[in-house]
Amino acid sequence: MGLRFASLGSGSKGNGTVVASGDHFLLVDCGFTIKETERRMARLGMSPADISAIVVTHEHSDHLSGVGPLARRYGLPVYLTPGTFKARDIGKLPELHLIEGHQPFVVADIEVTPVAVPHDAREAAQFVFRCRGSSLGLLTDLGTITPHVEAHFGDCDALVLEANHDPLMLAQGPYPPSLKRRVGGAYGHLSNQQAAGFLQRVGYEQLQHLVVAHISEKNNSLALAKEALAEVAETVESCIFACQQEGFDWLTVESRS
Ligand SMILES: [Zn+2]
Ligand SMILES: [Zn+2]
- Please provide the average confidence, as pLDDT, over all residues in the chain: 96
Q: Separation of 58 CA from ligand 1 center, angstroms?
A: 9
pLDDT band at 256 (very low <50, low <70, confident <90, very high): confident
Q: Separation of 195 CA from ligand 2 center, angstroms?
A: 16
CA distance 150 to 241: 21
* Average confidence (pLDDT) over 127-149: 97
Say whether pLDDT at 71 is over 70. Answer: yes
Condensed to tens digits (0 to 9), the pLDDT of residues 191-210 reads 999 999 999 999 999 999 99
Say whether pLDDT at 63 is over 90. Answer: yes
Say whether pLDDT at 1 is over 80. Answer: no
Q: Separation of 28 CA from ligand 1 center, angstroms?
A: 12
The helix (run of H) or strand (run of E) holding residue 55 is strand 51-55
Q: Which ligand is nearest to the CA of 183?
A: 2
Q: Which ligand is nearest to the CA of 14?
A: 1
Say whether pLDDT at 31 is over 90. Answer: yes
Can you name the residues that pair with 213 across neighbouring β-strands?
Answer: 162
pTM of the model: 0.97
With both helix axes pointing from N to C terminus, report the angle between 67-74 and 34-43 in degrees, rounded to the nearest 10: 80
Q: Separation of 109 CA from ligand 2 center, angstroms?
A: 28
pLDDT band at 97 (very low <50, low <70, confident <90, very high): very high
- Please, what is the end-to-end C-alpha distance for the chain in angstroms? 12
Give burial (CB, 10 Å; 0-12/13-18/19+) of 106.
Answer: exposed
pLDDT band at 24 (very low <50, low <70, confident <90, very high): very high
Q: Separation of 141 CA from ligand 2 center, angstroms?
A: 5
Ligand 1 (single-atom ion) residues, CB below 5 Å? 62, 141
Say whether pLDDT at 75 is over 80. Answer: yes
Percent of the chain residues past pLDDT 70, beyond the cut: 100
Q: Separation of 58 CA from ligand 2 center, angstroms?
A: 7
Q: Which ligand is nearest to the CA of 29?
A: 1
Closest CA to 210 of 228, 184, 183, 188: 228
pLDDT band at 82 (very low <50, low <70, confident <90, very high): very high
Say whether pLDDT at 257 is over 70. Answer: no
* Average confidence (pLDDT) over 198-224: 96
Residue 2's pLDDT is 83
CA distance 238 to 242: 13
Say whether pLDDT at 105 is over 70. Answer: yes
Closest CA to 195 of 218, 177, 216, 172: 216
* Average confidence (pLDDT) over 175-180: 97
